[in-house]
Amino acid sequence: IEVLAALQRAGRRTPPALLVRPEDALQSLRTAMLLGAVVPELRVRAEKLAADLGELVALRKTISTERDALAADRDKLREDQTRLAALVDERQRQQSAAEKDMETEGARAIALSKQADNLQGLIAKMEQDLKSAAKAAATASLQGAPATVNGKPNLGALKDPARMSPAVAFASAKGLFSYPVNGTKIREFGGSDGAGGVQKGISLAAKPGAQVTTPCDGWVVYAGPFRSYGQLLILNAGGGYHVLIAGMERISVNIGQFVLTGEPVATMGSTSQVASILATNASQPVLYVEFRKDGTPIDPGPWWAANEGEKVRG
């Protein structure tokens, strides 16, 4: 009866599997105790390994996504490079065309200058016959009077380097201009020009290689050689005013260009370029400056600043 009862209990509750020899019950017990201590740590390691594997899978997905994004960026960069190359080619083409047009207009300006008998005739020919000079003159004639503050010129507008029209009306700028070059005045308006005539502007003795700047805002209507003046620069300052600067060795602006007050436009040479100055055996380069209103030379004296603090700067 006892044996049958034991067999019945063994059939209902299967004994645990033994990883050791069945005959060694004590060793089996010790092995079971050891497994009971090791299995939890193995479970922790297994869970950590599973988490690491999950991170690896996520990292692989991220790498794949970034690889696809990199490929897309590379394709976009290739397209941008192609487009940029096309833009550069177009820019070079336009620049070449513009340079060719400038050379053509420069040659035409020199040809027109040879046909002019005097400065007034030169200005008239430039502003009528030369395309870029005519456009500059037309733009100058359309400019209204710049804004004023309490009835005075708004000098703050001179600080805007992007302006495309005079910040201060020429007629309102008396007492504000600085000389185009650092030098000493050697001839006054109305005095002898050294060649038996009357000085229609002023002459400034400068240093060799000195930089020449513009005394005012204006549009270039002529830039090149003209008769006894050497290199001549003519600005249309609007309101019927023109500024003539002569005696430089090299001019760095082009016809039709709008220049700002104080902007470098030319460079003096080592000797004088104006014939009337050369006649007096001048030992240094001399800059000639002339103001005109409606074609007639006027005394520029009222426009020059009395001291350095009153000079306008662009």
- Here the tokens at position 258 are 């709008």
More confidently predicted of 205 and 92: 205
| Band of residue 271 on the pLDDT scale cut at 50, 70, 90 | confident
Which helix (H) or strand (E) covers residue 90, if one does? Answer: helix 25-115
The answer to whether residue 63 scores a pLDDT higher than 90 is yes
The answer to whether residue 60 scores a pLDDT higher than 50 is yes
Q: Is residue 180 part of a domain?
A: yes
Spatial contact of 214 and 260, defined as CB atoms under 8 Å apart: yes
- Here the tokens at position 150 are 């309490």
Same domain, yes or no, for 100 and 132? Answer: no
The answer to whether residue 49 scores a pLDDT higher than 80 is yes
Same domain, yes or no, for 126 and 269? Answer: yes
Q: Is residue 173 part of a domain?
A: yes
- Per-residue confidence (pLDDT) for residue 18, from 0 to 100: 47
What is the side-by-side strand order in the sheet with 211-213?
211-213, 264-267, 250-251
Same domain, yes or no, for 77 and 123? Answer: no
Please state the separation of Cα 73 from the chain's center in Å.
Answer: 29
If we measure between CA atoms, which residue out of 233, 257, 235, 261 comes closest to residue 173?
261
The answer to whether residue 229 scores a pLDDT higher than 90 is no
Q: Which domain holds residue 37?
A: 24-115
Q: Number of folded domains in the chain?
A: 2
- Per-residue confidence (pLDDT) for residue 211, from 0 to 100: 93
Q: Is residue 181 part of a domain?
A: yes
Mean pLDDT in the chain? 80
Separation of alpha carbons 277 and 271, rounded Å: 10
Out of 20-24, 166-170, 188-192, 238-242, least confident range? 20-24
What average pLDDT score do residues 192-209 get? 83
What average pLDDT score do residues 274-281 get? 58
Q: Is residue 5 part of a domain?
A: no
Q: Is residue 295 part of a domain?
A: yes
| Band of residue 24 on the pLDDT scale cut at 50, 70, 90 | low
Out of 51-55, 169-173, 274-278, least confident range? 274-278
Same domain, yes or no, for 132 and 85? Answer: no
Separation of alpha carbons 217 and 167, rounded Å: 7
